[in-house]
A and B are shown apart, each in its own frame.
Chain A
Amino acid sequence: DAGVIQSPRHEVTEMGQEVTLRCKLISGHNSLFWYRQTMMRGLELLIYFNNNVPIDDSGMPEDRFSAKMPNASFSTLKIQPSEPRDSAVYFCASSTGQGDAFFGQGTRLTVV
């Protein structure tokens, strides 16, 4: 298995534009997490899904952020409209639900 795959690896966009981050889970995993990492705030849990259902989205900062899991192996995190303070590295991680976690390489987002 290739592991958790995130795309794109880097994204530079202008303020106000829509940004979509993508994540492909490891086959057979049933839980997915989206995290944001910044120097100031460290790793913050944004949302996590179990069996395609959002369980806890309390970490999503604003209504500008939305996440979906259209099927068991794929998820998107969308920011619309993007702002400079959204600049961060966004990670997704997948899990079997037994407490393990496998992280993708992250998407470095820069909003100018």
Chain B
Amino acid sequence: KQEVTQIPAALSVPEGENLVLNCSFTDSAIYNLQWFRQDPGKGLTSLLLIQSSQREQTSGRLNASLDKSSGRSTLYIAASQPGDSATYLCAVSETNDMRFGAGTRLTVKP
């Protein structure tokens, strides 16, 4: 069974810093990997979707990379802002299901 792990569980940084969130998965035979953001009391919002044939995706200040062979993905956030404070979850799909990590709770201090 696919297991998804996210490190660190929580991260606090001052505004303006660049940061990296990590995601690892046990079965490299994935269909795609997706990064989500969840604000307190809210649903999940998709940030970036990387297909298994791709190495990275970028959206604004966000860049996600995928290394299938090593079972790893990173989410890079440039020039962090207080509005980036949220929980970030990665999810891997093997067919059309999605298995989530426990998330990284990010706090960006003004």
Contact = CB atoms under 8 A, between A and B. Distances in A.
B96 interface: yes
A99 B99 CA distance: 12
Interface string B79-110: 00000000001010100111111110000000
Q: How large is the interface on B (under 10, 10 to 19, 20 to 34, 35 or more residues)?
A: 20 to 34
Chief secondary structure at chain B's binding surface: strand
Interface stretch (B20-28, B42-50, B60-68): B42-50
A50 B98 CA distance: 13
A77 B37 CA distance: 24
B34 interface: yes
Most chain-B Cβ atoms within 10 A of its Cβ — which of A31, A91, A101? A101
B43 A99 contact: no
A9 B99 CA distance: 24
Interface in A64-106: 91, 93, 95, 97, 99-106
Interface residues of A, number: 23
A64 to B, nearest CB: 22
B31 interface: yes
Contact of A100 (B49, B89, B97, B100): B49
B32 interface: yes
B51 interface: yes
22 contacts: A33-B98, A42-B100, A42-B101, A42-B103, A45-B97, A45-B98, A45-B100, A55-B96, A56-B97, A91-B43, A99-B31, A99-B49, A99-B51, A99-B96, A100-B34, A100-B46, A101-B46, A102-B46, A103-B36, A103-B44, A103-B45, A105-B42
Given A43-B100, A99-B49, 10 more contacts: A33-B97, A33-B98, A42-B103, A48-B97, A55-B96, A100-B49, A101-B46, A103-B43, A105-B42, A106-B43
Interface of A: 4, 31, 33, 35, 42-43, 45, 48, 50, 55-56, 91, 93, 95, 97, 99-106
